[in-house]
Amino acid sequence: MVSRGRAAVSVIAGVVILAGIALASPALAGADPETSPIAKQAHAEPVAPGTPCSATARACVDLESQRAWLIRDGKVARGPVPIASGGNGQETPLGHSFRVYRKNKDHVSGEFNGPDGRPAPMPWAVFFADGGVAFHGGDRARSSAGCVKLDTNEAEAFFNDLAENDKVQVVNAAQEGAARNGGPTR
């Protein structure tokens, strides 16, 4: 366990536990994201109708269809909305128990510059995965560096609807469906 300020962080079998909240990290565990214990738990939950995600998720992303939803009380509150996800070599990570950990309405990238050479704008940023992966507004014609880009009005809606600690699921619908139905995930 590592103590950082007030938050205690532990890593047990590839699962990061921050302030008592388990954060799935299949990459750390070396596990297939669809067969991890956290995924199996998610697959046992009912699906939010019209999405490939669990009813307990607050936001759902399907990388196959490049769509996202907001979910409230197990039902779609917004969506599907079109997205752009990470590009080759900077894919958006798959996961069943990401959590919103920070929001910043006027965020700019600390890693990437826009076409004008200035730090790339990431308006209405809602961070949910390691490495600064967030929902944010942007040009969906360009792939992101792992983030989930939304049209500006949709990014604002996600920003206003999601709160810290809300669950975010990022899946590939066909694999998710197969896993939920007991079939192969690959």
Domains for the chain: give ranges and CATH numbers. 47-180 (2.40.440.10)
CB neighbour list of residue 14: distance below 8 Å, 6 or more residues apart: 25, 26, 28, 29, 30, 31
pLDDT in tens for each of the 186 residues of the chain?
A: 333 333 333 333 334 444 444 444 444 444 566 667 887 887 788 999 999 999 999 999 999 999 999 999 999 999 999 999 998 888 999 999 999 999 999 999 888 887 888 988 999 999 999 989 999 999 898 778 899 999 999 999 999 999 999 999 999 999 988 888 875 544
Predicted TM-score (pTM) above 0.85: no
Asked if 126 contacts 100 with a C-beta cutoff of 8 angstroms, the reply is yes
Residue 81 C-alpha from the chain's centroid: 15
